[in-house]
Structure 1
């Protein structure tokens, strides 16, 4: 099954069945195909074809999904861009990806041959594109940028075979059918939103409703109105919903399950949510480098709170001990993943690819252990990463921006536990000898170089930052220092 031909297949089999909806439109399969064909013709008019990369920077709407399928239809790959990024961050991604065009809803002046206003994609008067390009399974489909410990985001290359394998695993694990209706609330610049929220239900014959910006006050009413059968969310969202006033009692009988991923959720939170709303929550785990998900608690089998479940069908999990051997059951080590979902590699970064994927095994950098039944328990993150409300933030990325201030001699970012967002970034700096700088100036500087969700919530200036025995900045000591003041 070629993803570029999915709209055609759906329209041929069930022309009047619902396919896609957002806050403003509802599309059946026939109309969905028509818009995809029209958008593909527009892209061809801009010279986009096989092997090109199309960047898409849009909020969560049906337009974004149409752009995705239109790009595949003409043989191009897609790199989705977070609309919250600042201009410099967007420009870096577009240049690194070699994007030919950018589809967006705003003005942009950057390193692309053309900026395509999203309204053009569905304009009347465009002769629809005819047949989709025959795309090989090894053709690049998605280029997902993930922050790296070097401070520069890396392009994760996912081909059509990766996506189809991943979607097949999701469909099997979740038992998706044409009766399923996904309510999408996660951003479509992440693989979870694309794979679990859109591609898997559409491939299974079901449908997707895009909820747009998440609002806890209206989300449950939306479920009741559209009769969604499942949704995927992060712990922050479940916390907000669990904290709604006691008189909020929606009819959630249509929902088969909810999925929780991207960050650890407490056993207490999941139990409270399930007890209140009658929705079973299954925790899972995965990375962009693994095309989304690698483990999941079973929908029908035993769910183990506090674990992230069993390997999905077709994947294997190994725990690598510090000496390079396989850890024994119950022992902790680095989590390794293998399967047809493992990425092709990082764009233009052969050395990092070779270090990350070794003999077909994806080295995640996460520390975990397997229990006696093979359920994965995550212990820690080897990578120095902060997860704020499901968004990955690498301290090095913030530190790199701060170091552009000449007055800064040292900078370090650590995570502070937060009851709603999971973690928040905290910045510590030490100034160069004889320099003067206040926290407001540092804060204004970071606003110019970082997306809002990456901004430190607290900035502290110290005489010097603590060091460990080998002279490196001691981040555990900084976390303790922050906890003492908090």
Structure 2
């Protein structure tokens, strides 16, 4: 495994395949040349160390070229969700102080403080006189990844090259990646999971990445059969869609040796169904953007405990603490706290938020969990999602887990709804499998044997799909607006 993920350090891999999309296929040497050309272009626009370069692009090769070109100059990259409106994009661009935006089909305009460059105008090779002015340091900021903003205005998470190199290397080792590995990109590149797990990790190992167009179930199977990747990383919703496809064939999946599930909790039932259907290990992991993507992950070869997100990745420390910040022993439930080289540098221009999140160098996650005697982490819920019904604390995930045991339940989510008598009561939203007919009455009866009366939802709503935020997580704030109790 190489010590660098920088394109200019890997150009000597020559004609080995590096990255492709629907329109381009680049070797390591060609990728490095594209990066140098873009870096020179950005340099001529005045970009230097510490400046911010934004992308407003769907998943495509040029997005990765731009990230790497910014790093070539010691600059910081901030990928913007291409689904954002101009107003939403302007918030991130303004908050980050982006000097240049690389965009396509965009509602953005250049101004005195910001240049908007169309992706079609990106340089593809450097001049013969190009001399890079600097190289990035390990402690330099590399990425500004913005949180989803479900609890307020999005915050820019500052991740250094040291953070990224640790995470890419840790995932390379954890997944035993080699030059023979080939990642299929499913998740969006404005999120750190895709950048670290699907791009940096295989590049560090000498492998390759295929970027495909907008996700669809049928396209996924066609791409796997055609491109023959060895792994991919996805969210529970995608796995639920894949195993529900009527034309699924294991022969199409023969090249895969494992897959990763993250970004949101997956039920034991769905995870088991995916593993049985795909015939490969599906390793569930856990992490936050503030922790550079992953902090725990079940092993591919070793003990995988369904229902847990595995042990801490090497180099990290996961602790469970009480409300006063004191460490709790195995088996006790409390807040999950993370330490290690993956912990962010802080939030951009948010010293108070940074001080709340980082305590004595450890990241307070806001998640509730417990460790077993082997160090495997079980997530109980988000602290902020806890429902207080008549003074009793209820964790939505426990109710969701009980609902997921019904064979007709594809996905579910539970939120709290205001109640005059109890203050709050749980309300459930369920998406059934396409070939299953389920009703609120049937699901209510199913829960009667599995949950105490106080935990049973006051209402169960059957939906065609659950709302999602930009990174694919279930949008519980939106569900709370849909959860009045009859």
1:417 aligns with 429
Shift of 1:293: 0.2
Show CA shifts across 1:25-52 (max 9, x none): 1111111111111111111121111110
For 2:265 and 2:11, the matched residues in 1 are separated by 40
Partner of 1:106: 105
C-alpha distance after superposition, 1:88-110 (max 9, x if no partner): 21111111111111110134126
C-alpha contact 2:148 2:471 (8 A) present in aligned 1:
no
State the partner residue of 1:231: 232
- The answer to whether the Cα contact below 8 Å between 1:336 and 1:362 also exists between their aligned partners in 2 is yes
Alpha carbons 1:42, 1:126 under 8 Å: kept = no
Report the secondary structure of 2:32's partner residue. Answer: helix
1:55 matched residue in structure 2: 54
> Are residues 344 and 244 of structure 1, via their aligned partners in 2, closer, same or farther at CA, if it must alter by over 3 Å?
same
Give the match for residue 359 of structure 1. 360
Gaps of 5+ in 2: 387-395, 398-414, 416-423, 434-468
1:167 aligns with 168
1:453–1:267 Cα change, 3 Å:
closer
Q: CA–CA distance in 2 between the matches of 1:224 and 1:275?
A: 19
Q: How far is 1:249 from its partner?
A: 4.0
Partner of 1:255: 256
Q: 1:458 to 1:235 in 2, by over 3 A?
A: closer
Matches within 5 A, 1:301-312: 301-312=302-313
| Alpha-carbon offset, residue 252 of structure 1 | 1.8
Partner of 1:291: 292
Bigger CA drift: 170-179 or 182-191? 170-179
1:27 corresponding residue in structure 2: 26
For 2:100 and 2:157, the matched residues in 1 are separated by 19
Contact 1:337 1:362 in 2 (8 A): yes
Structure 1 residue 148, shift from structure 2 partner: 4.2
Query: More displaced, 90-99 or 143-152?
Result: 143-152
Question: What is the aligned partner in structure 1 of residue 215 from structure 2?
Answer: 214
Is residue 184–residue 232 contact of structure 1 (8 Å, CA) maintained in 2? yes
Rate the CA distance shift 1:119–1:244 in 2: closer, same or farther, 3 A: same
- C-alpha deviation, 1:144, in angstroms: 0.6
Give matches, 1:419-438, under 5 Å.
Answer: 419=431
Preserved contact between residue 317 and residue 335 of structure 1 (Cα < 8 Å): yes
Q: Say whether residues 1:154 and 2:155 are aligned partners.
A: yes
- Superposition RMSD on alpha carbons, in Å? 3.1
SS in 2 for 1:271: helix
Paired residues of 2:55 and 2:79 also in contact (CA < 8 A)? yes
Give the structure 2 partner of residue 265 of structure 1.
266
| Counterparts of 2:341 and 2:125, CA distance in 1 | 41
Higher relative contact order (CA 8 A, sep 6+): 1
TM-score, length basis structure 1: 0.79
Q: Is the 8 A contact 1:84 1:452 kept in 2?
A: no
The aligned counterpart of 1:368 is 369
**For each residue in 1:422-458, what CA deviation from the matched residue of structure 2 results, as whole angstroms up to 9, or x when unmatched?**
xxxxxxxxxxxxxxxxxxxxxxxxxxxx989899899
The change in CA–CA distance for 1:260 and 1:135 in structure 2 (over 3 A counts) is same
**Cα deviation, residue 212, structure 1:** 2.3
Q: Matched residue of 1:251: which SS?
A: helix
